[in-house]
């Protein structure tokens, strides 16, 4: 038996020493997970039983080794939806919620939306949750990631397929109103700068994209031009250092209007939007 305060304090210090970016949050989240409660309700707990402490210690050890928090809890939260995540799928980031929000606001009533490189299905599930009028389609190439997407999108009405985003949805050519995509965009040379959680546990197919990080975005530009109806909208995420180079891919193609880049809540370049010329 140990007090909840002491248990969390000791765990926080272990995570801080291991270089975890949010040690207090993660320590509390993992104890709440072990106790079957929420972080908000954790203050009501006075003491932690020895059996729970053993389980907690094991999870803190794994988190100290930089295994993602969401892999340990099996859950990620994205906008208003809950997602099952684990080994083999990219853990959705809060920054991507802004791209999803843009699509939710931009799609016309009863519109057709396609989410390319869907990963866990986070954007697609949010679209279906907040805009039930939409016909939402999603595709993922990587087999393990597709299995997670399929699981997360059960019962949502989303048409989820396994395949290459470069060739997917021939049946929708010229009919799509909005396309979203969180493609791989990290340059191969930036390997060492990637956080251990992502570098070790996220699928590399979801991370790296050629020498300059723009290879997938170039393919996306070409496929989106075929899928969208004239005037249809494209939105995709990119690295914070690609605030000029990512939009430039669309500008250079000469078939896009209203090319704009958008900042995230920390003021960093985060995603690009544009419309297919009429």
Tens of pLDDT along 90-121?
889 899 999 999 999 999 999 999 999 999 99
Instruction: Note whether 156 and 188 are within 8 A (CB).
Output: no
- Quote the pLDDT of residue 167: 96
pLDDT of residue 43: 86
Q: What pLDDT does residue 205 have?
A: 53
CA 137/CA 135 separation, integer angstroms: 7
Domains of the chain: 2-65 (1.10.8.10), 79-276 (3.40.50.150)
Which residues of the chain fall short of a pLDDT of 70? 185-211
Q: Which candidate in 78, 90, 169, 236 is catalytic?
A: 90
Q: What is the pLDDT of residue 191?
A: 46
Residue 265 CA: distances (Å) to CA of 78, 197, 262: 15, 22, 10
Given 183, 184, 203, 247, the catalytic residue: 183
User: What pLDDT is attached to residue 186?
Assistant: 61
Token representation of residue 195: 């956080």
Catalytic residue check, 90: yes
Rounded distance between C-alpha atoms, residue 267 and residue 174, angstroms: 34
Q: Is 182 a catalytic residue?
A: yes
Distance CA 33, CA 154 (A): 24
Residue of 92, 182, 187, 208 with catalytic role: 182
Instruction: Give the global pTM.
Output: 0.87
Assign 183 to helix, strand or coil. Answer: coil
């Amino acid at each position: 038996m140990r007090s909840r305060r002491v248990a969390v304090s000791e765990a926080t210090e272990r995570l801080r020493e291991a270089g975890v970016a949010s040690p207090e949050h993660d320590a509390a989240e993992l104890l709440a997970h072990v106790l079957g409660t929420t972080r908000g309700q954790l203050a009501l707990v006075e003491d932690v039983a020895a059996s729970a402490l053993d389980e907690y210690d094991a999870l803190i050890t794994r988190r100290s080794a930089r295994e993602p928090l969401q892999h340990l809890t099996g859950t990620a939260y994205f906008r208003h939806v809950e997602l099952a995540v684990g080994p083999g799928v990219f853990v959705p980031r809060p920054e991507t919620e802004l791209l999803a929000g843009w699509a939710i606001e931009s799609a016309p009533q009863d519109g057709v939306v396609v989410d390319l490189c869907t990963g866990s299905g986070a954007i697609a599930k949010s679209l279906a949750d907040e805009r039930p009028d939409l016909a939402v389609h999603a595709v993922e190439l990587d087999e393990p990631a597709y299995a997670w997407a399929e699981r997360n999108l059960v019962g949502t009405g989303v048409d989820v397929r396994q395949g290459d985003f470069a060739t997917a949805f021939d049946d929708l050519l010229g009919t799509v109103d909005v396309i979203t995509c969180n493609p791989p965009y990290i340059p191969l040379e930036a390997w060492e700068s990637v956080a251990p959680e992502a570098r070790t546990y996220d699928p590399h197919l979801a991370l790296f994209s050629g020498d300059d990080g723009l290879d997938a975005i170039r393919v996306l530009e070409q496929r989106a031009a075929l899928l969208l109806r004239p005037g249809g909208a494209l939105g995709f995420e990119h690295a914070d250092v690609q605030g000029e180079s990512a939009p430039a891919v669309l500008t250079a193609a000469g078939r896009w209007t209203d090319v704009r880049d958008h900042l995230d809540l920390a003021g960093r370049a985060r995603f690009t939007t544009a419309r297919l010329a009429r």
